[in-house]
Chain A
Amino acid sequence: MISSKKTEHQEPEWFSRGNILRVLGVALAYFIAARCGLLLAFGNSNATPVWPPSGIAFAALLLLGYRSWPGIALGAFAVNLYVFLTNEACGTETAIWVSAMIAAGNTLEAALGFRMLGRSNEPYPEKASWVYRFVVSALVMCLASAAIGPLAVSFGSISPWSNYGTVLLTWWTGDVAGVLVFAPLLLVWAKTPSWTGGWQRAGEGLCLLTGLLLVCGSIFGGWFNESSELPLSYFVIPFLLWAALRFRTHGVTLATVLWVVIAVQGTATGNGPFFSNDLNISLLSLQGYVSIISVTFLTLAASMEEHRRDSEALREARNEMVTLIQQRTTELVTSRSEIKDYQDRIEDIQEVLLKNTILDFSRRARLSGTGDELDAIAAGLNTMSEELEDHIRRIRDSEERFRVLVGNVKDYAIYTLDKDGYITSWNKGAELIKGYTEIEILGKHISHFYTEEDTLSGVPFNNLRRARERGRFEDEGWRKRKDGSLFWADIVITSMHDEQGKLRGFVKVTRDVTESKESREKILNLNHELEQNVAMLQDVNKELEAFTYSVSHDLRAPLRAIHGYTRLLAEDLKDGDSEKKRMMEAVMRNARKMGKLIDDLLSLSRMGRKELQRSHVDMNLLSSNVLQEIKTTQPANATKINVQSLPPAEADYSLISQVMSNLVDNAIKYSSKNSIPQVEIGSFREEGDVVYFVRDNGVGFDMKYYDKLFGVFQRLHSSEDFDGTGVGLALVKRIIAKHGGRVWARAENGKGATFFFTLRSRTKNENARSRSIAG
């Protein structure tokens, strides 16, 4: 990068060797320049249109530093004294102080210009703005010399006071022109040209020089006297332009000096377009021409230089930029691979993040990122980080919801354990069930909840071990509350693992099931009682069977003895003992009756135990068999028995025979007092059920005692009127009920009775239906 290096000259010490040499050099240069300049003086005067020493003095200060000013003063004094003494315009003494004054003016002039243009700025005509300030400085600084010089000449009576104005003007314009023409030459050539050398450039310079010399010679050399009236002076412009464009400030300043020297020389010798008979007019017009042209092309060249430098700076900046871009591109490629690494790492980190770790990429990026690319990386990372944070937030939200949800569960103690069994979380339910608050219990071991015996025998550890091995462990048992009381707990321990399958801890859910345990125990107790009762009932049943057997066996034997011996006694009685015979008959009748009672009771009891043997029963056949048997046992019976055609049934044949037998027996018995006893056996259909009935025209009964009709030992008639044990209808009811059917009766006192029964219910539904109809 080009930076404008300021040429900070370290000002040399006044009397250092370097400064003294410099001063002497400047003085010599000034003296020679002045001597040469005087050669250009018009006519026999000292007036010169261009005073080179002014430019040399100014350039010397700018280039060598202000401490070289004594050289200017010395040179100026020497040359003026030499001139005055040589042309004997005045006395020696006058020549000295006049020369001193002039030298002071010249020195002041250069110092003033130095002061105005300053050292702080670029001392080279490389900018148009510098040329502008240079011109202004030249115009102002030369006033000092132009004011003092004529004054001294007038005081020394070398020039009359009347000429003062003219001398001052001539002096000033000459100095200005000298500064404008010669100072840039020195300043520029103090530096090497920005354009490179080479044969082509040298040849071009030679062409330019030749052309310029030819043109100047043509204009000011007096080669074409007749055409001196023509404004040939403009022909110099293309060459100066050439010099400016191709050789810039170096070319322009050199060409200008050459051209000016020729022009002044030519004019002074009475040639060229600016020559006039009036000295001042030709002087001024030449000075104007020289000054304007030189300033113009110096400006142009300076602008060119500036432009060149700017474009060079621009090119360098561009090159630098390209380099920078290449550099950055390389960095970017590197960064990309770094980003890739980052991404990989972020993926790793994600997993870590899932475990609630926060990574602030913004911060990381701010800490490490300095370049644009890193900013971009940081931005990318931040986006990722934001997404991750969003993700984490969502996970946290869901965790929070879950936590709240779990936290508020009251019926279950839900808490987590670390892998060693220490409590890491605690919910409301746990607090309610166990009595510990979260603060009290966190960090405590699970064995706190177990009874001492369990803890001593290692139950808590065994439970955790089983949960770890199987993933899940369920158990029930006594657990301890904070207050020491026990409750029956239903527990589930579930193990938690991370992605690698490493154990992270456990979730334990505990429920207080003391009540349900108690009620379960109650039920178990009831069941047990029930079983005992059933066993007892079975025992009772066995006893009953034994009892029944013993009843049938042991009770009948005495009756048989009573009846038998009475019978034998009765047989031995004489015919006259009718009263004894009657009493013995009574004994035998009662014995028989008791035997019958025992048989009936046995039948009834047998009914309760007997399994039904259902089969297809032809009810017509059944009833005819029953009637046949009755006819056998009661041959004297004269009852008219009418049997309708009966539909078949699914029933236990022997039991239904018993029913039919009992009902027909009853019908015959209770109708026996009717003069024309009649019994009817029949059936009809009612709501899908077959109803069988046995009707008689006997004594009937009062329906208000209907309740007692089917009860055991219940009788609606006295034994005096009708013999009976009161078991028959009870047995009928039991048999019908066993079949799932129903039995009922309709009767009226003295108008007979009808007994109905159904035998349905092959299926339970039909059974239920028939029952509901019965109800």
Chain B
Amino acid sequence: MRTQEVEVLLVEDNRDDAELTMRALKRNNLSNALVHLKDGAEALEFIFGKEPGEGKPDRKPKVILLDLKMPKVNGMEVLERVKSDPRTKNIPVVILTSSGEDPDIQKCYALGANSYIVKPVDFDSFAKAVSDIGMYWLLLNQPPH
């Protein structure tokens, strides 16, 4: 699944949510260069390599869709690593969470999250939200070189 040019990195432990997300993106042909990882540890390994301090991260996705509540390494830690590393801090990170009750919303913004999206129950709303995000970050947004 790993392609040379990754545009969307989806980090989501919930398989259903992942599928519905990918479906929503697919509707707008935004899922061609998408990598889905099931937890934070995989995400960090994908971005920074297996060993700490190993070379220059070769994969710079255009956007990271990050769930917060995950086993092993949670979303917050991933966010912190990405945003604290000068090589990766420019990668837009969109937090996708199930609930607006999350106590870490403020912290996420403080750490540099670019968006914080509560996933609606209604699939139509959910799909619209996801496609809007994809459209925005992949097509409209001009990342720095």
Contact = CB atoms under 8 A, between A and B. Distances in A.
Interface stretch (A378-386, A564-572, A723-731): A564-572
B121 A559 contact: yes
A566 B121 CA distance: 12
A563 B122 contact: yes
Nearest to B15: A561
Nearest to B97: A553
Contacts of A551: 101
Contact of B119 (A556, A558, A566): A556
A606 B14 contact: no
Contacts of B20: 560-561, 564-565
B44 to A, nearest CB: 22
B17 A549 contact: no
Interface string B82-111: 000000000000000111111100000000
A554 B102 CA distance: 12
B120 interface: yes
Interface in A497-519: none
A267 interface: no
B122 A595 contact: yes
A560 B101 contact: no
A144 interface: no
A552 B126 contact: no
A596 to B, nearest CB: 8
A564 B126 contact: yes
Given A553-B101, A556-B99, A568-B23, A561 B122 contact: no
Interface in B44-99: 69, 97-99
A556 to B, nearest CB: 5
B22 to A, nearest CB: 11
A552 B101 contact: yes
A557 B124 contact: no
| Overall SS of chain B's interface | loop
B100 A557 contact: no
B124 A567 contact: yes
Interface residues of B, number: 21
B82 to A, nearest CB: 22
A646 to B, nearest CB: 29
B101 A602 contact: yes
Nearest to B20: A564
Interface in A570-621: 588, 591-592, 594-595, 602, 606
A80 interface: no
B123 interface: yes
Interface string A524-563: 0000000000000000000001001101111011111101
A606 B16 CA distance: 28
B126 A549 contact: no
Contact of B102 (A549, A561, A563): A549
Contacts of A588: 122-123
A598 to B, nearest CB: 8
| Overall SS of chain A's interface | helix
Given A560-B17, A561-B20, A568-B23, A552 B100 contact: yes
A564 B122 CA distance: 7
A563 B119 CA distance: 12
A338 B62 CA distance: 124
Contact of B98 (A545, A553, A563, A566): A553
Nearest to A563: B123
A557 B101 contact: no
Given A557-B16, A557-B17, A568 B101 contact: no
Nearest to A593: B121
A607 to B, nearest CB: 13
Nearest to B23: A568
- Indicate the member of B97, B101, B102 with the most A CB atoms within 10 Å: B101
Given A560-B20, A561-B16, A561-B20, A552 B98 contact: yes
A568 B124 CA distance: 10
Contact of A560 (B69, B98, B102, B103): B98
Nearest to A605: B101
B101 A548 contact: yes
Given A545-B103, A557-B14, A557-B16, A564 B123 contact: yes
A316 to B, nearest CB: 132
A603 to B, nearest CB: 10
A552 B103 contact: no
A553 B97 CA distance: 7
A477 B100 CA distance: 58
Nearest to A602: B101
- Indicate the member of B14, B23, B99, B126 with the most A CB atoms within 10 Å: B99
A567 B122 CA distance: 9
A556 B121 contact: yes
A567 B121 contact: no
B69 to A, nearest CB: 6
B98 A557 contact: yes
Contact of B17 (A561, A594, A595): A561
B123 A568 contact: yes
B123 A567 contact: yes
B39 to A, nearest CB: 16
A554 B121 CA distance: 12
A153 to B, nearest CB: 182
Nearest to A560: B121
A565 B16 contact: yes
Interface string B1-44: 00000000000001011001001000000000000000000000
A559 B123 CA distance: 10
B99 A560 contact: no
A606 B122 contact: no
B122 A553 contact: no
- Indicate the member of B17, B20, B98, B126 with the most A CB atoms within 10 Å: B98
- Indicate the member of B16, B98, B103, B123 with the most A CB atoms within 10 Å: B123
Contacts of A545: 103
11 contacts: A545-B103, A552-B101, A556-B99, A556-B121, A557-B119, A560-B126, A561-B17, A564-B23, A566-B123, A567-B123, A567-B124
Given A566-B123, A595-B122, 7 more contacts: A548-B101, A549-B99, A551-B101, A558-B16, A560-B121, A561-B16, A591-B121
Interface of B: 14, 16-17, 20, 23, 69, 97-103, 119-124, 126-127
Interface of A: 545, 548-549, 551-554, 556-561, 563-568, 588, 591-592, 594-595, 602, 606
Closest 10 interchain pairs by CB?
A552-B99, A595-B121, A564-B123, A561-B16, A567-B123, A552-B101, A553-B98, A564-B20, A553-B99, A559-B121
